[in-house]
Structure 1
Amino acid sequence: MRKAIKEDKDLVVGILCSAFKPIKIPNSINFVVKQDKHRNHRLKILMEYMFYNALKFGDILISDNEKGVILLQYHRKKMLTFNTVFWDIKLAFCCIGIENVYKVLKRENALKKYHPKEPHIHPWIMAVKSEHWGRGTGVRLIQEAFEYYKDNDLPIIIETTTNSNLKLYKKFGFKIIKETHELDYPLYFLKR
């Protein structure tokens, strides 16, 4: 596993897009991305947004085989800059759609409400290229991330919308700390 640098943008965005293009069920990504004939382009804009934010305010970890990634956010590092305002405006106009901004802001408030206020590690998104699903890349990626943070005492807080992810995270010792259905899909918050 290695930390991504700016030059890894295309690799990271490619992995993220590959992982989420085939998923059409209600989840966090499909909630944010306007669902129309431009979905794939909008998805790419969201993944670029996430890449730049994680690079600036967290870490991006790439698996050794370069088929999986984890983007982490450190909320205590996040701040308002010219770039973040630009990224937010681009996301609103080119990915979410102006008519959907309110519902996405409502979602963000729900997420903030359930995340602990104390410092924690937040794996923002984890993805494996779709053609590598079921080959153990995701499991290895989680194991490598735990190894990467083994000397850190901060709790790890993660959220998921799918039962398959829920089962996987529970195998790694995560416990559900909150479950909500206030959005258009179930949302589980887990802690380790």
Structure 2
Amino acid sequence: MKLAKRCDKNLIVKILTDSFQDNKSINYLIPNDSKRINRISELMAYSFEVCMASGKVFLSDDEQACALVSAPEKKKTTLSGLFHEVRLVLLGIGLNNALKAMKREKAISANYPDSPIYYLWFIGVKPQAQSKGVGGKLLTEIIEDAKVEHRPIFLETSTLKNIPWYERYGLKIYKELDFGYTLYLISNKTNDSI
């Protein structure tokens, strides 16, 4: 895997938009209207910007997969960050869903430890490359990077079929949240230490 550059943004946004169109967690926030795909792209563009500023953005060596990793304690309020948040609300999730997004984020983050974490926000594989080991290779490399940083990995999924895949890599469900759909909170940290 390699660290993405700013010039990789369009590729990464496309991979993630294509990968998450049917995701319950994404569709919880994205209005189901004629602009839905563009709205998902706006969410992914926002997430890219956050991770470029306070985390890492990875591309697989073959550029078939990508991952956005955030270090939440490094996120700072900046003019650029505020611009991206306003853009997300106006062009992505919509004003009606902004409060819903904030409440969900607060409920999720209340389940993180107080110490720094390695937050795997998104990992996606181009649809035509899925089920070929590309995502597994990238996740293995991400787990190694988290070990180098001495940070536990945290992520969520609303996709039940993804849980066995994460479990193969030592990641386990530590909590479930109900938002009208089940959101599975997953980590490589043990339950007693979260």
Instruction: Name the TM-score, length of structure 2 as normaliser.
Output: 0.92
Aligned residue for 1:149, secondary structure, equals: helix
Please give the alpha-carbon distance, in whole angstroms, between the structure 2 residues aligned to 1:46 and 1:155: 25
**CA displacement at 1:175 relative to structure 2:** 2.1
Moved more, 31-40 or 52-61: 31-40
Aligned to 1:154: 151
Aligned to 1:184: 180
Root-mean-square deviation (CA, aligned residues, Å) is 1.3
Aligned residue for 2:66, secondary structure, equals: strand
Match of 2:112 among 112, 115, 120: 115
Please give the alpha-carbon distance, in whole angstroms, between the structure 2 residues aligned to 1:149 and 1:176: 18
Aligned residue for 1:114, secondary structure, equals: coil
Q: What letter is aligned with 1:36?
A: D
**CA displacement at 1:153 relative to structure 2:** 2.2
Please give the alpha-carbon distance, in whole angstroms, between the structure 2 residues aligned to 1:66 and 1:163: 26
Equivalent pair of 2:146/2:153 in contact (CA under 8 Å):
no
Q: Percent identity?
A: 34
Aligned to 1:20: 20
Please give the alpha-carbon distance, in whole angstroms, between the structure 2 residues aligned to 1:151 and 1:52: 23
Aligned to 2:60: 63
State how 1:46-125 maps to structure 2 within 5 Å: 46-125=43-122
Please give the alpha-carbon distance, in whole angstroms, between the structure 1 residues aligned to 2:152 and 2:38: 35
The yes-or-no answer on 1:41 pairing with 2:38 is yes
**CA displacement at 1:142 relative to structure 2:** 0.6
Moved more, 143-152 or 166-175: 143-152
Q: What letter is aligned with 1:78?
A: K
Please give the alpha-carbon distance, in whole angstroms, between the structure 1 residues aligned to 2:97 and 2:147: 40
Please give the alpha-carbon distance, in whole angstroms, between the structure 2 residues aligned to 1:112 and 1:136: 30
**CA displacement at 1:151 relative to structure 2:** 2.4
**CA displacement at 1:101 relative to structure 2:** 1.5
State how 1:131-170 maps to structure 2 within 5 Å: 131-170=128-167
Please give the alpha-carbon distance, in whole angstroms, between the structure 2 residues aligned to 1:151 and 1:102: 36
Aligned length: 188
